[in-house]
């Protein structure tokens, strides 16, 4: 019974995914291209019909299975319902099952992004009627962007007033440092970082040195 239920769930998840994909394809097409838009709309409708059919089949199977639970199974379900933390932490519980547990346990979630500029208020209403309130720090602009490692910035800051951009790039690359994108440093990269942090650099002849010139001793 459990295997059949899992198979129905997987079929339904796949059908919903295909329906969402068909919708995205339909939304992305140029409306003036009526022939393509019409075909994509037809495919989308087919996917929605399949989702509807599988949802009805799943609901019917769940209704039938509800009346076929044995006494032992009912007792096991009762025991598990009284120890949700154990179910949540169990190695046999998948992430998809944890999501389903949350959907069954949570009635609604309210977000407040107005009261506090730096935080987002969250209120969870559980199906038991209990309310849980907490705040989440709002992500600041640039927090998720790639940044030059602090060690590299510190070394550039240390060498900036006495070395050229190219000399600094040579040193960083030889020492194994890399940019935020994991690439070797160039004199342009070093120059950008210096300008960003307001660092002064030697604008002398070494600024245009290439990798084929003799390597400096980095005493500069």
* Phi, psi for 70 (deg, rounded to 5): -75, 170
Residue 20 has pLDDT above 60, yes or no: yes
Residue 217 has pLDDT above 60, yes or no: no
Confidence (pLDDT) at 66: 66
- 116-155 burial, b at 16+ Cβ within 10 Å, e below that, comes to eeeebeeebeeeeeeeeeeeeeeeeeeeeeeebeeebbeb
Residue 210 has pLDDT above 50, yes or no: no
Element (H, E) at 132: strand 131-137
Model confidence at 117, in pLDDT bands (50, 70, 90)? confident
Confidence (pLDDT) at 207: 44
Mean pLDDT over the full length of the chain: 83
Going from the C-alpha of 102 to that of each of 7, 43, 52, 149, 181, the distances in angstroms are: 21, 32, 23, 38, 37
Confidence (pLDDT) at 213: 45
Confidence (pLDDT) at 124: 94
Are 201 and 169 in contact, with CB atoms under 8 Å apart? no
* Phi, psi for 152 (deg, rounded to 5): -65, -40
User: What's this model's pTM, rounded to 2 decimal places?
Assistant: 0.34
Q: What does the alpha-carbon distance between residue 169 and residue 149 come to, in Å, rounded to a whole number?
A: 14
Residue 165 exposure: Cα atoms within 13 Å on the Cβ side: 16
- Range list of H helices, 29-94: 34-66, 71-81, 84-89
Confidence (pLDDT) at 123: 95
């Amino acid at each position: 019974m459990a295997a059949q239920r899992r198979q129905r769930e997987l079929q339904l998840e796949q059908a919903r995914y295909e329906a969402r994909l068909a919708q995205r394809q339909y939304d992305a097409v140029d409306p003036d291209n009526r022939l393509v838009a019409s075909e994509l709309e037809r495919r989308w409708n087919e996917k929605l019909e399949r989702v509807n059919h599988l949802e009805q089949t799943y609901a019917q199977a769940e209704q039938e299975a509800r009346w076929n639970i044995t006494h032992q199974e009912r007792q096991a379900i009762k025991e598990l319902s009284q120890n949700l933390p154990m179910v949540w932490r169990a190695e046999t519980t998948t992430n998809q099952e944890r999501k389903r547990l949350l959907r069954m346990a949570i009635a609604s979630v309210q977000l407040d992004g107005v009261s506090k500029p730096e935080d987002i208020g969250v209120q969870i209403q559980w199906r038991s009627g209990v309310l849980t309130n907490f705040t989440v720090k709002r992500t600041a602009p640039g927090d998720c962007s790639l940044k030059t490692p602090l060690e590299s910035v510190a070394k550039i800051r240390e060498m900036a007033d006495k070395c050229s951009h190219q000399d600094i790039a040579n040193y960083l690359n030889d020492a194994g440092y890399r940019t935020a994108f994991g690439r070797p440093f160039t004199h342009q990269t070093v120059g950008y970082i210096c300008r960003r942090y307001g660092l002064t650099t030697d604008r002398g002849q070494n600024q245009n040195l290439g990798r084929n010139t003799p390597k400096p001793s980095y005493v500069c």
